[in-house]
């Protein structure tokens, strides 16, 4: 009996101990909940405390301004004389960094000097004799295009002192100096001589010089009877010797012979690849060149000063030459019609003068 009682007491004590252990485990589980709930609170407060510190580590300075966009660039060449004079105001703007493009200008005395760099890609835009533009179009298989007509009515036959010349027929037996062999001057002269019954090879002596200034110098030196010159060399010659006279207005003679009132002597050309890759530069140039030619024509005194400054022609000569130079930038269908009519006459006389064939529609640049 006592043994049973002891066994029962032992079991009761074991149960009490077991319940105590269970209660301890339960207690420890409950006490862990607050601890675990405090950890997120601590993390949140820690975030609140560290966020300002982290924000203070960010730079207070504003981001730098973006670099200014560079202007489109274009390399432009022209001949000294009327085409160069038309660029004077644009050259001045470019010097002041006020132009729409970053231009590099080159002025030469003869078109031959410009052809090579243009074909080779060392120039982008050039102002050249119009027939030469057609020759280059064929020579480069369409890589050179015409954008605008830049010069009209600039050629004159100048008579030496005491020499009477009233028509091209009067040049028979005489000696005439000029420049531009292989370009507009040669072919226009040949055409008008033949229209007046003269053979350029046998009925007179025609001697070509490398530059217009050389032909003018020969006239001033009394080494010829006449000279075929463009402005401003016409004015320059008469200023240096007032006895030298304008004998024939070549544009008027051209109209008599062909019925065409315009003689598009020079034009603006562009490399086709450059135009395709830089349409903005091309548009900017045409806009600014047009503005420049108009400004030069309307502001003779100021324009002459710039023309002298850039060594295009002497200032005093420019003052007298500008009104008679027909400086312009003619684009669109009117220009195309004048050029096509002019090249057609030259082709019929001598196919070589326009490169062996009349250029097709691809000859004319049209903005896309």
- Dihedrals phi, psi of 253, to nearest 5 degrees: -65, -35
At 12 the pLDDT is 53
> What does DSSP assign to residue 360?
-
> The tokens of 56 are what?
């203070």
Q: Which among 131, 118, 138 is positioned nearest to 273, based on CA atoms?
A: 118
The CATH superfamily of 155-258 is Periplasmic binding protein-like II (3.40.190.10)
155-258 and 73-151+265-314+329-355 share a CATH fold: yes
CA atoms within 13 A on the CB side of 266: 29
Q: Are 187 and 350 in contact (CB under 8 A)?
A: yes
> What does DSSP assign to residue 200?
T
At 263 the pLDDT is 87
At 326 the pLDDT is 83
Q: Chain centroid to CA 88: how far?
A: 15
The C-alpha atoms of residue 296 and residue 79 are separated, in whole angstroms, by 16
At 48 the pLDDT is 42
At 210 the pLDDT is 87
Q: Cα–Cα distances in Å, from 149 out to 27, 289, 365? A: 103, 11, 12
Sign of CA dihedral 87, 92, 95, 96: negative
Question: What is the mean pLDDT for each group of 10 consecutive residues in the chain (368 residues)?
Answer: 49 52 46 40 44 47 58 94 89 97 94 94 96 96 96 88 96 95 87 95 95 94 96 90 96 88 89 97 97 96 96 91 88 92 91 95 91
Fold of 73-151+265-314+329-355: D-Maltodextrin-Binding Protein; domain 2 (3.40.190)
> The tokens of 280 are what?
């903005």
CB-CB neighbours of 230 under 10 Å = 26
At 80 the pLDDT is 86
The C-alpha atoms of residue 120 and residue 274 are separated, in whole angstroms, by 12
Supply the pTM of this predicted model. 0.75
Q: Which among 232, 230, 220, 234 is positioned nearest to 315, based on CA atoms?
A: 232
> The tokens of 276 are what?
């395709």
At 37 the pLDDT is 40
Return the bridge partners of 75, or none.
104
Domain boundaries, the chain: 73-151+265-314+329-355, 155-258
């Amino acid at each position: 009996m006592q043994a049973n009682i002891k066994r029962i007491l032992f079991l009761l004590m074991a149960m009490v101990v077991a319940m105590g252990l269970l209660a301890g485990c339960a207690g420890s589980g409950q006490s862990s909940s607050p601890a675990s709930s405090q950890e997120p609170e601590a993390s949140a407060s820690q975030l609140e405390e560290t966020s300002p510190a982290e924000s203070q580590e960010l730079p207070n300075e504003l981001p730098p301004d973006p670099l200014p966009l560079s202007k489109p660039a274009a390399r432009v060449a022209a001949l000294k004389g009327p085409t160069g004079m038309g660029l004077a105001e644009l050259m001045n703007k470019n010097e002041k960094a006020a132009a729409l493009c970053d231009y590099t200008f080159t002025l030469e005395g003869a078109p031959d000097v410009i052809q090579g760099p243009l074909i080779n890609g060392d120039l982008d835009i050039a102002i050249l004799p119009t027939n030469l533009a057609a020759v280059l179009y064929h020579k480069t298989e369409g890589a050179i295009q015409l954008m605008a007509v830049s010069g009209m009515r600039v050629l004159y036959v100048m008579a030496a002192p005491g020499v009477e010349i009233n028509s091209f027929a009067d040049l028979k037996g005489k000696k005439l100096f000029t420049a531009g062999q292989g370009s507009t001057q040669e072919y226009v002269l040949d055409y008008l001589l033949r229209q007046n019954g003269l053979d350029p090879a046998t009925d007179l002596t025609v001697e070509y010089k490398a530059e217009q200034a050389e032909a003018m110098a020969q006239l001033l030196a009394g080494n010829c009877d006449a000279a075929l010159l463009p402005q401003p060399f016409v004015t320059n010659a008469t200023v240096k010797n007032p006895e030298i006279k304008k004998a024939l207005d070549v544009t008027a003679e051209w109209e008599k012979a062909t019925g065409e009132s315009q003689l598009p002597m020079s034009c603006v050309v562009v490399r086709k690849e450059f135009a395709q890759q830089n349409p903005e530069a091309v548009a900017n140039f045409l806009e600014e060149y047009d503005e420049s030619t108009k400004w030069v024509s309307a502001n003779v005194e100021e324009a002459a000063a710039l023309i002298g400054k850039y060594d295009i022609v002497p200032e005093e000569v420019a003052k007298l030459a500008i009104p008679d130079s027909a400086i312009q930038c003619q684009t669109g269908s009117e220009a195309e019609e004048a050029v096509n009519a002019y090249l057609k006459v030259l082709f019929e006389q001598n196919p070589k003068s326009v490169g062996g064939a009349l250029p097709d529609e691809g000859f004319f640049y049209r903005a896309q």
